[in-house]
Structure 1
């Protein structure tokens, strides 16, 4: 993510598990499906992912989650893209901890929306309280929880996006939290939004999103409040695409859906999307997960 100008980062200690970035531009790719069974499952779920390091002059700062768990008799598909800036400490921590924090909320099964919002808040609070270890950086997030193949909960902060395909039509499930759209809130909190010629709008001239995890130096003017959307998965629901803005900068929602539709293998579909984004000269890290229902 080219959200801030790059800076040097030091070693990491304390509560953060430092994970090595991708080696060079080698892609991180794979696929999977749930091996769990449950009488309440209505649709099978499978996924594929493909992540490619960008050409922005810094190490890979995107991380993903794509896994399945069984809890309280329910089968969960957990998927996420975390697009970091100023280093990989915050996105790598989110990868390792955000879903655990969501599922450990006591009201998750009765009120998933409140649980997700509370977990986003508490996770951001922990990151800020440990800013000496996490450093100045931050991360966007888009998370998707599939419950028993029939219930989908999507949340996001920043501009990583989720798009669902229903009967061949793209529907954006997330909100791109851009500075110009939240200018009034930012200014009310004492910040400002700059738009320099040839550049995108930035909070205090630095960050190109209005909501993110971390970013201690800008937090007085940023929000970590997620937008949350619930969707029932039915016969019209074919797949969901999660991706970082490295893809969405150059490919529209409907174009992405049209590319994925004829490709049954979700890993091949995710790779095809990233390949197309590269062909369209996207320089940012590009991360993509395709979740198929059937």
Structure 2
């Protein structure tokens, strides 16, 4: 997709090419690629575990061959371009900051339907931020697989909120197998957003967060999973774990989050089961901000609207680099952690600024005061 974009190709075409190449690859007989590997699972019985694996190098070469064949065919006849009603404007930025390693990962898939061959006429886009700890493996795995689990989920069309929530669980389950096989100890929090027609679904594990801003006002979509939450503490203690204060509240004296993908040594106390909330969009929403705790620990949710609108005012409604300004604000606010920010404008940034200037922002007044009600958020919290 990056190669296509560098040559001026539209993103939808690159996504369609990827889907066609993968589909063609999977239609082939892959038995010749299979490797069977036996390993010993750590545990009281040291059980032998045999898994069938596909070597990535050989499979990638086969996929590239299919991609070349399809590209040659499409030079003669391109598929039709998709019809889109919602124009999204995305700004993203991530820095290692003062940490030794960059363990954050983020994903932005505006062409979700084209990438997975969905043709039901419902527009979909997917965005995610994953904040790894104890290594890169879990964050890399989640950034690569959660959206695939979502696209393959049997309930994607009928119940997308459940599909998004369970995509976390399925990714966690498969990563734990990889972690046992390869002796991995890393974990990752995550927050994912699926824009599906006029609905927004947000799922999360841990303390990465999503914030919706409507008419200049923040709308709370979620409550982070932290050990000090009463329901999280009760869940952990009922399983035989403990929550202790060591600079901050931690699960079994180690992790400062109570839910995550991976963290094999802390299962089941650190749960891989996410929560999800859903919102009906009314075209009055301004933007969505996904970010890791490196951002939200230094910038409060109430500060985000004014920071974004202030940036738009300084830059004439151009929001291209607004994520960089938010990252800078978090760093100036004292964050020493990795910082990743995704800003998804649900309306043209220039139009947002125009509305802001038209309605004013007097001292002590909300940025917007249209007299309307807020959006309705439906939540499905895991036990």
How far apart, in 1, do the equivalents of 2:296 and 2:151 lie?
29
**TM-score scaled by structure 2?**
0.64
Which structure is higher in RCO with an 8 Å CA cutoff and minimum separation 6?
1
Counterpart secondary structure, 1:74? coil
Counterpart of 1:59 in structure 2 is 101
Counterpart of 1:6 in structure 2 is none
How far apart, in 2, do the equivalents of 1:15 and 1:238 lie?
44
Question: Is the contact between residue 50 and residue 267 of structure 1 (CA under 8 Å) also seen in structure 2?
Answer: no
How far apart, in 2, do the equivalents of 1:214 and 1:48 lie?
28
Counterpart of 1:275 in structure 2 is 328
Counterpart of 2:144 in structure 1 is 96
Counterpart secondary structure, 1:139? strand
Q: CA RMSD in A?
A: 1.9
Structure richer in strand, relative to its length: 1
Which of 185, 197, 200 lines up with 2:248 in the alignment? 200
Which of 237, 240, 259 lines up with 1:187 in the alignment? 237
**TM-score scaled by structure 1?**
0.83
Structure 1 residue runs of 4 or more that deviate by more than 3 Å after TM superposition: 14-17, 264-267
Structure richer in helix, relative to its length: 2
CA deviation digits over 1:34-62, x for unaligned, max 9?
A: xx6436x3x32121100010213x31000
Q: Any unmatched runs of 5+ in structure 2?
A: 1-52, 57-80, 348-383
Counterpart secondary structure, 1:176? coil
How far apart, in 2, do the equivalents of 1:45 and 1:155 lie?
20
Number of equivalent positions: 258
| Structure-to-structure mapping, 1:230-269, within 5 angstroms | 230-262=278-310, 263=312, 264-269=317-322
Which of 252, 257, 261 lines up with 1:213 in the alignment? 261
Question: Is the contact between residue 64 and residue 95 of structure 1 (CA under 8 Å) also seen in structure 2?
Answer: yes
Counterpart of 1:68 in structure 2 is 110
Counterpart of 2:88 in structure 1 is 45
Structure 1 position 280, deviation (Å): 1.4
Tell me, yes or no, if structure 1 residue 138 matches structure 2 residue 187.
Answer: yes
Counterpart of 1:110 in structure 2 is 158
Larger Rg: 2
Q: Any unmatched runs of 5+ in structure 1?
A: 1-13, 18-35
| Structure-to-structure mapping, 1:155-174, within 5 angstroms | 155-174=203-222
Question: Is the contact between residue 195 and residue 202 of structure 1 (CA under 8 Å) also seen in structure 2?
Answer: yes
